[in-house]
Amino acid sequence: MNTIRRALFAAFAAASLPTAEPAAQQVAPTPPPPPLAGEPRAADAFIQVIPTEGRAPVRVAAAQVVRVGRAEGYTVLDTAAYVQQRTVEPVEAVARRLAAAGQRLIALTDLRDTRTYLAADRVVLVREPYEQHAAGARAAIVMVGLRFNTDVAVRESVEQVMAALERAAARGDPLETPAAR
């Protein structure tokens, strides 16, 4: 029995010793570079929002937010998981925190003349509105992750929406506000 224990101990000890391979062959994985000072990283960031039920704050992954707008008197966050999170916080406050976390948002005007913020990276296509949209819609934006619809109707024209998306992409700005006319 002692012989078996000694043999196992010797094998374990030999396996845990460093090998004599040349340094060129022992390549350690390179860690990702650290973010630059003050650089927001939406992929890693979570923001807290206060739910409408008065419960403890919930955390939402900034990179997964598709739209921030108003519905039934509350601020609503649509997410890429097709889940909505309602909050009592103002739309602009949530949008500012998302932008600070690195989410690229564009501000548009919904059909109730209130601001809605869309994640530029979740836009699939921008087109003229169809008859199903309410009067006053000048563009419809199809997005990934909307829970109840596939598109958002806005007062801005297709050209204004595309210009806002292009400016946000070119400058890398996290928050873009086009002029609605």
Q: Which domain holds residue 52?
A: 46-176
Tell me if 31 is assigned to some domain. Answer: no
Low-confidence winner among 93-97, 141-145, 171-175 (lowest mean pLDDT)? 171-175
* Backbone torsions φ then ψ of 12, nearest 5 degrees: -65, -45
Rounded-to-integer distance, Cα 80 and Cα 176, Å: 21
User: Among all chains, which residue has been given the structure tokens 């210009």?
Assistant: 163
Tell me if 116 is assigned to some domain. Answer: yes
pTM of the predicted protein model: 0.71
Instruction: For residue range 128-159, list pLDDT tens digits in order.
Output: 998 777 788 999 999 988 888 888 999 999 99
Tell me if 69 is assigned to some domain. Answer: yes
Instruction: Give the length of the chain.
Output: 181
Tell me if 92 is assigned to some domain. Answer: yes
Tell me if 7 is assigned to some domain. Answer: no
Rounded-to-integer distance, Cα 112 and Cα 135, Å: 11
Number of structural domains the chain divides into: 1
The CATH number covering residue 73 comes to 2.40.50
Q: Which residues touch 52 (CB under 8 Å, ≥6 apart)?
A: 74, 86, 87, 88
Count of alpha carbons within 13 Å of 73, Cβ hemisphere only? 1
Tell me if 125 is assigned to some domain. Answer: yes
Tell me if 112 is assigned to some domain. Answer: yes
